[in-house]
Amino acid sequence: MSNEATRYKSPSAVLEAMKHRLELQHASPRTIEAYLSWVRRFIRKSGRKHPATLGQVGVTAFLSGLATEERVSASTQNQALAALLFLYKEVLGKPLDFMDGIVHAKRPKRLPVVLSPAEVGRLLNELRDDCRLMASLLYGSGLRLMECLTLRVKDIDCDRLQLSVRRAKGQKDRVALLPQSLLEALRQQLRSVQDLHARDLARGAGFVELPDALHIKYPNAPRELRWQWVFPATRVYVDPTTEQTRRHHFHETALQRAVREAGIRAGLLKPVGCHTLRHSFATHLLESGSDIRTIQKLLGHADVRTTMIYTHVLDRGPLGVQSPLDRLNTGK
């Protein structure tokens, strides 16, 4: 074993070290949870052996098994690979240089599900209160689910009609649209947040989780209004580390369930989820003549080729062309 590997004599020590390294690199809580889950699964599948004794052969067998035996998707297999690459390079000090023996899961080419403007209207009409406002932002601003739920009061700029999306995918910040039609609803939501926060402060609570180590640099920030969530949870919790009474943001599963059930009530036959609204945002902007590079920036895509997929689902048919049969029947 390398010097790094011998520091962690048990699999549990490896997992603890990996969590610490991920936190040092400011990985998101979801990434940390997913990576640790894959390493635990790898260790169990390998007979609970120490990862340092398995190396390339063990990793290749595990990843190939995911594709051939468990039939996981390509994205799932890639996430497992990323977790194990991080483990061996950053924790054990034994980088895996090549993985030629892996049987890769096939990545299907799927088109996004897109709603028409009328279908979006029917969906939103079936939602109520906070869920309707959040879903409206997903569609009107093109936000990802967690980008919407983790908005803080300071991220809303009503005067400039923009939202500041912080630490989005790839740990990148960007500016998103704030629909003018949502201004009054958002202002009312911010007033509600201010009232709720005042009540929390009055009973000795009012804390919120801050990114990185900002609570050390700015000790009072966790109780400041500007750092509070725009869409707070209804309940508070006590953080076991700090013993602070905090309020989390609205939980993602609650909004996902609300949108899915609203789609059913609206009679939509397409599979509808929160990300469907983001797909619809991009497609409808393209249909209205917006430049694809502008849409790329609004969506936060690193590569314009990711944004190009929406050109295949325009309302004029695939690739935005009209069928020759329609021209024949209309005489055009």
Q: Which domains does the chain have, with CATH numbers?
A: 3-91 (1.10.150.130), 117-312 (1.10.443.10)
Report the C-alpha gap between 141 and 120 in whole angstroms. 14
Q: Looking at per-residue confidence, does 307 or 265 come out higher?
A: 265
Strands (E), 200-289: 232-238, 245-249
Q: With 0-12 CB in 10 A as exposed, 13-18 as middle and 19+ as buried, what is 259?
A: buried
The CA-atom distances, in angstroms, between 202 and each of 188, 197, 232, 243 are 21, 9, 17, 17
Q: Which pair of structure tokens corresponds to residue 244?
A: 């602070």
pLDDT over threshold 70, residue 107: no
* Residues carrying an active site annotation: 144, 169, 275, 278, 301, 310
Confidence of residue 69 (pLDDT cuts 50, 70, 90): confident
Bridge pairing between strands 245-249 and 162-165: unpaired
Are residues 278 and 143 in contact, defined by beta-carbon separation less than 8 angstroms? yes
Q: Give 117-155 pLDDT, tens digit per residue.
A: 999 999 999 999 899 999 999 999 999 999 999 999 999
When pLDDT is averaged across residues 230-257 and rounded to a whole number, the result is 92
pTM for the whole structure: 0.76
DSSP string computed for 17-59: HHHHHHHHTT--HHHHHHHHHHHHHHHHHTTS--GGGTHHHHH
Report the C-alpha gap between 216 and 19 in whole angstroms. 20
* pLDDT number for residue 310: 80
- % of the chain with per-residue pLDDT over 70: 88
Strands (E), the chain: 156-157, 162-165, 174-177, 232-238, 245-249
Q: Give 246-289 pLDDT, tens digit per residue.
A: 999 999 999 999 999 999 999 999 999 999 999 999 999 988 88
* pLDDT number for residue 108: 62
DSSP-derived secondary structure letter, 164 = E
